[in-house]
Amino acid sequence: MAGPVFEWLMFVGSWVKLSDDTAARLGAVFGIILTGLLAGSVLTAPVGSAPVVVAPLNPHEEAHLPAEQIPVPEGYPPMASDAAEGASFIHNFGDGHDPTRWYKANMTYPSPHPAWLARHIHFFDDRVELELRRMRVGAKKLAGAEYQRRGLYSFGRVEVVMTPAPGSGTVSALFTHTSEQFGAQHDEIDIEFLGKDLNMVTANYFTDGEPYRYLEIPLPFDASKEVHLYAFDWEPDRIRWYVDGELMHTATHDDHPIPQHPSRIIIQLWSGQEEQFQWHGLPTFEDGTRAAYYCISYLKAGDTGSQCSDTFDPVAANAGRAAN
């Protein structure tokens, strides 16, 4: 992924900088012009419309963001045989990091995503936490976290016990994904939380790069304040999404073709660029916000075995959380 071309682009992005003084003067001029343009756009907007006004970042403040070296991708040790086979698994994150089955992203590349830093993945006795910070990493001004299950996984049930990160602009995700890099078109199945509204979980899927439709599933709780189990069943002709075992939505092949390619299983915490602001909200989240993941399981179609839901009880989990 981070081949010679990407590495060259990263180098150039980190090399071209303005001095603090020059940046401040240019920022002042740019700020006056942009303020005028924004005011004009609001005054001339059609009655009843709600334009998204993006507050310009202060270039002087940007220049003082904490800086990080361009990250070097971690190596790939030999993969465990069960991961290489795409076998069923259950992983309680208190077990720590196993590089033969899991991979910590540590890279940056041209995309709307932030830089991924391995040191933003934090392991505790009962969970892993992903962290999101404002910092300069090459050309990026944000650094999030991505943790991947190694291997490719096909039809079956995926479960996760988690709490997403609070704060407008955050996206906490569990999803399957494959692309041309893995010999297939873009297929993806999503469970995502937007920190701007954590009384809902969002879902979607992509087949050969084409999306199904964006789903907003209401929740009777703030997902960042309570631990719950989210899941989807992936079958050849349908996908079904669940919250704490309750079926929330079903999509079928008649609605949109179902992904057919084996895929990676990934968790992420990120925030995007201006083109994502309308969707995930302005990035006003508290610096260092975190999403917590307690358990992920994958039960291959036709298998029997352990899943996160076998031992997870949302009432007991949240009673214990309140006690602490």
User: Catalytic residue numbers?
Assistant: 188, 192
Could you tell me the two tokens for 172?
Answer: 């906490």
CA distance 144 to 195: 14
The Cα–Cα gap between 16 and 27 comes to: 17
Largest CA distance in the chain: 65
CB 222 within 8 A of CB 172: no
Tokens of 132: 């999101």
16 class by beta-carbon count within 10 Å (0-12 exposed, 13-18 middle, 19+ buried): exposed
Tokens matching residue 25: 């003067």
Reference 139, options 159, 121, 168, 112; nearest CA is 112
CA dihedral 309, 232, 112, 130 (to 10 degrees): 0
CB atoms within 10 A of CB 247: 11
Among 252, 175, 185, 270, CA closest to 213: 252
Q: Are strands 89-92 and 289-300 parallel, antiparallel or unpaired?
A: antiparallel
Per-residue tokens: 312: 């997870």
Report d(CA 169, CA 195) in Å as an integer: 6
* Token pair recorded at residue 314: 């949302």
Tell how strand 238-243 and strand 102-104 pair up. unpaired
What is the rounded radius of gyration, in angstroms, for the C-alpha atoms of the chain? 21
Residue located via tokens 């989807």 = 232
